[in-house]
């Protein structure tokens, strides 16, 4: 069963971005150019101006890479206190000094991955999403997006691995307002790729987990119907 790109769900909440303003105060542009460009890029994306969005996200990324150079201190981005604490513990265990900052820069990579995906540049999309995950390794939204990339590449097991990481991350680290949607999204991703591997019983169990969360989960209901059709066609 073919699946369309899902990246856009939840994007409006990203970056602390405002969808209602296209002109930023001069002070904001000077002091936080990465944020100003990310916000502008999101606005262009929301209004269907994809090429302009790409330009703005590229500018945001350029400023992020100056602000947080690869050879500088390790930087993590976080959406929640629990996520920030996890990175602090991780850095302590590795005896490294880190900064934990807002998600503007990792969101810019994520959104740039979306635009690359929608302009047919799958390899570029994969690269941008890996950079987002590198900055936020327990961000369930980024992990599911990367899982989707491998799904499109028909690397079913790698896709499952990333969706499984997203499933684990969502339970603890996703913001409360999106936790259920990110948790269920990851479960559906696992289920879809299990179907491609012919593991229908495991896929069915995963979709039933989705229904235990939301009995009206249309995606899960549709996939369970699809599994039943596969069984009928193959006399399983």
Per-residue pLDDT tens digits for 127-169: 999 999 999 999 999 999 999 999 999 999 999 999 999 999 9
* Closest alpha carbon to 194 in 5, 9, 1: 1
pLDDT interval class at 112 (50, 70, 90)? very high
Domains in the chain, number: 2
Query: In 19-31, which positions are buried (b, 16+ CB within 10 angstroms) versus exposed (e)?
Result: eeeeebeeeeeee
Q: Is 182:163 a contact under the CB 8 Å cutoff?
A: no
Range of 57's domain?
1-137
| CATH code for the domain in which residue 189 is found | 1.25.40
* Closest alpha carbon to 58 in 165, 146, 131: 131
With respect to residue 153, please indicate whether it lies within any of the assigned structural domains.
no
Clarify whether residues 7 and 60 are in a common domain: yes
Q: How far apart are CA 158 and CA 191, in angstroms?
A: 13
| CATH code for the domain in which residue 37 is found | 1.25.40.10
The proportion of the chain whose per-residue pLDDT surpasses 90, expressed as a percent, equals 77
pLDDT interval class at 13 (50, 70, 90)? very low
- For 229, residues 6+ apart whose C-beta sits below 8 A from its C-beta are none
- Last residue in a domain, options 137, 169, 198: 137
Clarify whether residues 173 and 124 are in a common domain: no
pLDDT score recorded for residue 21: 39
Kindly give the interhelix angle for 50-67 and 104-118, rounded to the nearest 10 degrees: 140
With respect to residue 12, please indicate whether it lies within any of the assigned structural domains.
yes
Higher pLDDT, 4 or 138: 138
- pTM as predicted: 0.86
Clarify whether residues 98 and 191 are in a common domain: no
Six-digit token string for 71 = 């050879």
Q: How far apart are CA 106 and CA 125, in angstroms?
A: 13
Mean pLDDT of the chain: 87
Per-residue pLDDT tens digits for 161-191: 999 999 999 999 999 999 999 999 999 999 9
pLDDT score recorded for residue 116: 95
Clarify whether residues 15 and 130 are in a common domain: yes
- For 14, residues 6+ apart whose C-beta sits below 8 A from its C-beta are 42, 103, 107, 110, 111
Clarify whether residues 122 and 14 are in a common domain: yes
Task: Tell me the backbone φ, ψ of residue 98, rounded to 5 degrees.
Answer: -135, 160
Clarify whether residues 117 and 168 are in a common domain: no
């Amino acid at each position: 069963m073919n699946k369309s790109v899902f990246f856009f769900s939840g994007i409006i909440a990203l970056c602390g971005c405002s969808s209602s303003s296209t002109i930023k105060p001069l002070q904001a542009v000077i002091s936080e150019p990465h944020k100003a460009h990310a916000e502008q890029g999101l606005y262009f994306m929301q209004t269907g101006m994809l090429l302009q969005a790409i330009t703005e996200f590229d500018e945001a990324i350029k400023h992020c890479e100056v602000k947080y150079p690869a050879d500088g201190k390790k930087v993590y981005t976080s959406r929640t206190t629990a996520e920030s604490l996890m990175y602090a513990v991780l850095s302590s265990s590795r005896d490294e000094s880190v900064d934990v900052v807002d998600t503007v820069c990792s969101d810019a990579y994520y959104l740039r991955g979306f635009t690359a995906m929608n302009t047919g540049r799958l390899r570029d999309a994969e690269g941008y999403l890996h950079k987002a995950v590198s900055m936020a390794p327990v961000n369930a939204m980024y992990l599911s997006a990367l899982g989707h990339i491998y799904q499109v590449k028909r690397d079913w097991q790698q896709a499952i691995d990333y969706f499984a990481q997203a499933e684990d991350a969502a339970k603890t680290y996703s913001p409360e307002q999106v936790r259920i949607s990110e948790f269920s999204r990851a479960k559906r991703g696992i289920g879809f790729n299990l179907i491609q591997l012919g593991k229908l019983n495991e896929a069915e169990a995963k979709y039933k987990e989705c229904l235990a969360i939301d009995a009206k989960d249309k995606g899960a209901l549709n996939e369970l119907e699809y599994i039943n059709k596969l069984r009928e066609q193959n006399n399983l």
